[in-house]
Amino acid sequence: MAERTEGTTEINASPENVMEVLTDFDAYPDWAGIKKVEIKKKDSKGTPKEVYMEVSQMGMEAKYTLSYSYAAKNGGMSWTTTEASGALKDLQGEYVLEPSGDSTKVTYQMAIEPAVRIPGFIKRQIEKQVVNTALGGLKKRVESR
């Protein structure tokens, strides 16, 4: 897998409130840069385990299904690709949530393996755009609730 791209932000909310937004996959088109979402599987508690998504970034389109794992005590979540088509071969990543007084430090890490050849500088631009959209959208969404 390729190298990881990472970003961090501070959100004025509890880790529990951040996780509520992160696990509300149906709302991702409103804030996460995702065009379409469909929850495929849930665990025994009703938490999404496999989620299908469609995205379009900088003219590149991809459809993929991610398998999610959740950290204990609202500590975040991680994902890996189970299926992918279009411009994406593999996507792995995680949100790590750390309480910080009345707020939560959120670190987002991801690694993209494109299905097509992309010059390195364009791939890095796409990764940075994904990280910035994910963190900025999450912060805005959580803090506006």
Would you state the pLDDT for residue 100?
Answer: 94
Does this model's pTM top 0.85? My answer is yes
Q: Write b or e for each residue in 102-115: b if 16 or more Cβ atoms lie within 10 A of its Cβ, otherwise e.
A: ebbbbebbbbbebe
Residue 2: partners with Cβ closer than 8 Å, 6 or more residues away: 111, 112, 113, 123
CATH superfamily of 5-143: START domain (3.30.530.20)
Give per-residue pLDDT as tens, 79-128. 999 999 999 999 999 999 999 999 999 999 999 899 988 888 888 888 88
Q: Map out the domains of the chain as residue ranges.
A: 5-143
Give per-residue pLDDT as tens, 10-64. 999 999 999 999 999 999 999 998 999 999 999 999 999 999 999 987 677 999 9
